[in-house]
Chain A
Amino acid sequence: MSERLVSGHSRLDGVLGGGLPLDAINMLIGLPGTGKTILAQQYLFANATIERPGLYLATVSEPFDKILRYGQSLRFFDPGAVGGSVFYEDLGPALNERGLAGVVEQVTALIKERRPGIIVIDSFKALSAYAEAAEFRRFLHDFAGHLSAFPASSFWIGEYGEEEIAVAPEFAVADAIISLSTTRASERETRSLRVLKLRGSEFAPGQHAYRLSANGIDVFPRLADQSDITSYPLDEARHSSGIAALDDMLADGYWPGASTLCAGPSGCGKTLMGLHFIFNGVRQGEPGVLATLQEHPTQLARILEGFGWSVDEKGVELMYRSPVDMYIDEWVYELLETVERTGARRVLIDSLTDLKLASPDEIRFREYMYSLVQRFSRQGVSVFMTSELPDLFHVRRLSEFGVSHLSDNVVLLQYTRDQAIVRRALTVLKTRASRHEPETREFRITPEGIVLGDPFIPEQSFD
């Protein structure tokens, strides 16, 4: 028998260390509209059985019919289960007629009659209005005593703010507290789930993004992998960059599992260099993922066609997402799943600049990139990341968000001016565990892609 109560959503269960402790009192808190009722019903339908049904008990804040009406729009809501393994009951009349004592009586009677495995009380906070502080505490003791004496997991839902945790007595009784919140920055809304208390169990700390949809709550746990010092196998065969002359500069290409940052101003050829890397791998039997936030698939198809490539080639997986209203959390999990599903060995992320915009803050962005690069490295998946630099000439800084130091290789693309002619220049700035040629070479974009020219001579200007 499982000692955990699962939600039916593996990532949320992962945040909770495998699930909520069985037979615990769990509080779901958050302002209206954050998805508390949805999450509670998700647990209800995931766990209710004929033998150990689920009870959903409405009090006086959430109209009973409304819960049912909107509940039906959720995919996991099974109308056929209602009355069999899931029971909706209204505590409102008992509460209004006999107060909190009526609630204890009715819930106790329902436990005896239905023998539930899971009980939801929505809203629990509304009950506090029916008694003075001392009486409410007595009710809590009595109510929690009944619930603890029966093997059922209960969810107490309430429109509590986190500041109430220190003062409201029900939080001392709770075994687990999950907070759901929505924050707004400019026009972007971010939903986040936090575990504030989980007795007898470890959990993933911090804010975890989530989305609400007809599938219920979809959680994207904060990707913050700890440094892992255990060893993992390294492949000795190098990966070609797809550009012969660049391979020479890199001492025969990149190490497998390496991360490469390609930084440069707009239009300089960063995406093209990444495409070289992907299609070179595909044509050697190494599947690749084009994770782009830049070009729309139609635009990308035209660009690829110009160089003799196609997104329809076997082994190519296009993952295009618009950066508008995108969550970095969701995107990262989608990329990890896509790589796993396709068995990809190479990934192009185009671009970090767009990805950064989808991230709520810089620290979160760095955590995600560090974790992503570490995971891919251990799997032997090579990552090529592009990053836009603001300066067309006189590049002074590589990256504003610290990705260059965690990348194994850094390639700088920049423009140079020679009289009235603008030229493109490439410099390999860094290759970890490998030598490289430090010279700066001119390159051209031809129908065959990037073609490297000669090194610039020292007196040539980069103005």
Chain B
Amino acid sequence: MQPAEIAIFSIGAVERMLDVPAATIRNWEERYGLVKPERSDGGHRLYTRGQVEELRFVKEGIDRGLQPAEAHRLLGEQLARRSGVRSTDASEQAPRLLILLAERDPYAAEFAEFFLQTEGYEVALALDANDAALKLEQRLPQLAVIELLISGGTGVDLCQRLKESGVPACLVISTLDARDQALAAGADAFLRKPLDPLQFVSTVKDLLGKSAFLQGATSL
């Protein structure tokens, strides 16, 4: 099972993540029946990451001025398109957004890769700058996440090279407070390590414009 399909979020957590009251989320479920969470043994609702993104899509539609019913109709269309593709041939699925993760610390890389994949992104992991260059040749990522101290502290050079190579956005991460260095090298954002998962994925989303799920679905 893909991480995005594991039901892990309580309705309280979803309420906080989306800033939508739990009662409203329950009401949408009863009225439109599109986002149906799993139920725990105790009867509690549990949402997958994908379902959270679906609800986020609805919320963003309402924020733009749509009625809840209209926002759900659009979501239904998106879901129908996505499931249609999946039901025919997986090879026809739209390529997911690719993120190049250049991280020297295998433990930090393991978590960062997991959180990005959970959000639906494809991740190319490089544990040193040479490996990052090889990955770049294979496919241009939409975003690079670069650890400043990779390959003996050459993260700044790597960031400059990636930007020159056409990588649209670079997020530099480091345990050190090196914002100035990162920004001078062309970084679009800087985050201190250890990475807070929510802050990390929301920064990635901000840099990419949309979530991996919605971009993938929209591009179909």
Contacts and interface: CB of A to CB of B under 8 A. Distances in A.
Contact of B107 (A23, A115, A148): A148
A149 B107 contact: yes
B21 interface: no
A151 interface: yes
Contacts of A150: 111, 194
B183 interface: no
Interface in A105-127: 108, 111-113, 115
Query: Which residue, A113, A146, A151, has most C-beta atoms of chain B within 10 A?
Result: A151
Interface in B63-119: 105-108, 110-111, 114-115
Given A51-B198, A149-B194, A113 B110 contact: no
B195 A151 contact: yes
B13 interface: yes
Which secondary structure dominates chain B's binding surface? helix
A84 to B, nearest CB: 7
B194 A151 contact: yes
A50 B196 contact: no
Interface in B1-27: 3, 6, 8, 10, 12-13, 16-17
B166 interface: no
B105 A111 contact: no
A145 interface: yes
Contacts of B111: 111-112, 149-150
Contacts of A146: 107, 110
Interface in B182-220: 193-198
Interface residues of B, number: 23
A276 to B, nearest CB: 62
B197 A148 contact: no
Query: Which residue, A112, A113, A145, A148, has most C-beta atoms of chain B within 10 A?
Result: A112
Contacts of B106: 145
Contacts of A112: 3, 111, 114-115
Interface residues of A, number: 17
Nearest to B118: A112
A115 B9 CA distance: 11
Given A149-B105, A151-B194, A50 B110 contact: no
Interface in A127-167: 142, 145-146, 148-151
B103 to A, nearest CB: 9
B108 A149 contact: yes
A259 to B, nearest CB: 49
Contacts of A83: 42
Contacts of A50: 10, 12-13, 16
Contacts of B196: 151
Interface in A32-80: 50-51
Nearest to B106: A145
Contacts of A115: 197-198
A142 B107 CA distance: 8
A148 B194 contact: yes
Contacts of B16: 50-51
B107 A84 contact: no
A111 B8 CA distance: 12
B114 A145 contact: no
A372 to B, nearest CB: 42
A149 B106 CA distance: 9
Contacts of B197: 115
Contacts of A84: 10, 12
Nearest to A142: B107
B198 A108 contact: no
B69 to A, nearest CB: 29
Interface in B105-144: 105-108, 110-111, 114-115
B198 A23 contact: no
12 contacts: A23-B194, A83-B42, A84-B10, A108-B110, A112-B3, A148-B107, A149-B105, A149-B107, A149-B111, A150-B111, A151-B194, A151-B196
List the 6 closest A-B pairs by CB distance, nearest first.
A149-B107, A149-B108, A145-B107, A151-B194, A146-B107, A50-B13
